[in-house]
Amino acid sequence: MTAGPVVGTPYGAVHGRYESGVAVFRGVPYAAPPFGALRFRPPVPPEPWHGVRDAGAFGATAPKPPYSEAFAQYLSDPSVPGDDCLNLNVWTPEPGPGARLPVLVWLHGGALTRGSSAVPVYDGRAFARDGVVCVSVNYRLGVEGYGLFPDAPANPGLRDQLAALEWVRASIAAFGGDPDRVTVAGQSAGAISVGALLAAPAAQGLFRRAVLQSGPPEAADRDKVRRMVRRMAGRLKVPATAEAFAAVDPDLLLRTQAEVGKLSSPVLGGPAFGVVVDGDLVPGDPLAAVVEGDAGAGVDLMMGWTRDEYRLWLVPGGLLERVDRLGSLALTAVRARCRCGPEVTRGYRALHPDAGTAEIVGQLVTDHLLRIPLHRLADARPGSSYVYEFAWPSNRPGLGACHALELGFVFDTGEAPESRMLAGEGAPKELADAMHGAWVRFVSDGDPGWEAWDATHPVRLFDAGAPRTVRGPRDRELALWGTGFSPSGTRSRLPVRR
């Protein structure tokens, strides 16, 4: 092995690399390989090793199907073979005890079926460059991590994330991090995971701050998850049990999962994998536990969404044009999807008279799935919650400010080809400086640089030019749902804070 940093963990020493002035450790096990007798079971600690383990390359990624061709042109998702997929990566400016630097733990998105810590967009060097120890985590996905079986515990993928946080608590000081200054952050399914951990009694005390980007605390309907498993079982002609699924060829299992789930999407709905209430790790609905109870008390929150989340769900494959052609039929369908009355769709039409049907449908679904619950969460934590919207439109045709576009700006990895897959060429570096800087400040001291949530609903807008704060930019739409929001006709004319 070449010269590089060596750090001890509770299970053995690891040998990293110095890259661009920071120390990087990849593929560090935090739990044992979840196969054999451990298939579909909660994670257990890894076997200790003797000597020094090489941590120069990304570890195995969790089993997952590839993205469809329509999505693969926008989203990178490398696959690394191997069973030892419960691993994590650490970027640190100063390995060794004594530094006591703030820590960011990153949980990737991907609908709980795809994604990994090896995605180049999530490279943590910029965080380490700016004084933050960055940890990115692999966890079980799809039916392996979120299948619901009568003969196995629920939520093994979420239990993996909890085990990773426990590893951070026990080990991160040796990498220069402060175990009392941990922020857990995620996007999309990763943010939903953060919300579940925020509400989980077993995770209390493992992190001080949390970031939820494009995903709220929520629990999936158990019947929807069961339907995924039963449909897979029907195609495979096996019982819908963990024991039977464990005997299926792994590649066939992944292909079947992809076939059963191909018609599910945030817009269309349908059966899908998700975090479920299990009476144990997730004792009740996570949003209710945080909003109506004291779960996650004392945890500072930062929450955000993109202006045009829905465009990543509708543009690939031409679904946006098909929704536009459906017209009123699409609006009727989205009312059923969002459980709202015709007055809501009429109200959106009145507020956005120049918008096409697909845009109305997309914004309705985005508000239903993301903005309403995140507003509720912020309203329950005024003074310690910060909210933002990412509004810069991609340079790739049709994407707008779509789901996941902001991640290359958060990690300041805009030069990576994988970031340009979504952003196109010429993404503004000053926007990455602003977005990444806000995350660094929040992780470091809990203040991203604008005022905390209050009755005026301040939202930091990240777009071309300097970031600015606007008041209640979504309040008029959200008031249509009858959820207690007040229209912001006067708020929108309040002075802008720069």
DSSP 483: S
Distance CA 83, CA 386 (A): 39
Exactly one of 144, 309, 359, 477 is catalytic; which is it? 309
Q: Which residue in 372, 218, 204 sits closest to 288, CA to CA?
A: 218
Q: How far is CA 148 from CA 17, 46, 189, 240, 276, in A?
A: 40, 25, 17, 9, 9
CA-CA-CA-CA torsion sign (474, 476, 479, 484):
positive
- Helix, strand, coil tally for the chain in percent (to 5): 40, 15, 45
Residue 467, token pair as written in the block: 């970031």
Residue 472, token pair as written in the block: 């209640």
Burial of 356 (0-12, 13-18, 19+ CB in 10 A): middle
Count CB atoms within 10 A of the CB of residue 89: 24
- 403 counts as catalytic: yes
Phi, psi of 44 (to 5 degrees): -125, 160
Residue 334, H or E segment: helix 328-338
Exactly one of 368, 403, 436, 457 is catalytic; which is it? 403
Q: Which residue in 147, 193, 200, 197 sits closest to 40, CA to CA?
A: 147
Distance CA 430, CA 10 (A): 41
Rg of the chain over all Cα atoms, to the nearest angstrom: 22
CB 188 within 8 A of CB 404: yes
DSSP 296: T
Position 71, amino acid: F
Count CB atoms within 10 A of the CB of residue 189: 25
Cα 339 off chain centre by: 25
Exactly one of 136, 188, 193, 488 is catalytic; which is it? 188
- 188 counts as catalytic: yes
Provide the angle, in degrees to the nearest 10, between the axes of the packed helices 357-366 and 328-338: 0
> Each residue of 196-229: b (16+ CB within 10 Å) or e?
bbbbbeebeebbbbbbbbbbbbbbbeeebbbbbb
- 264 counts as catalytic: no
CA angle 161, 167, 172 (to 5 degrees): 120
Three-state DSSP at 155 gives coil
Q: Where are the alpha helices (DSSP H) in 340-416?
A: 342-351, 357-366, 372-380, 407-410
Active site positions, annotated: 188, 309, 403
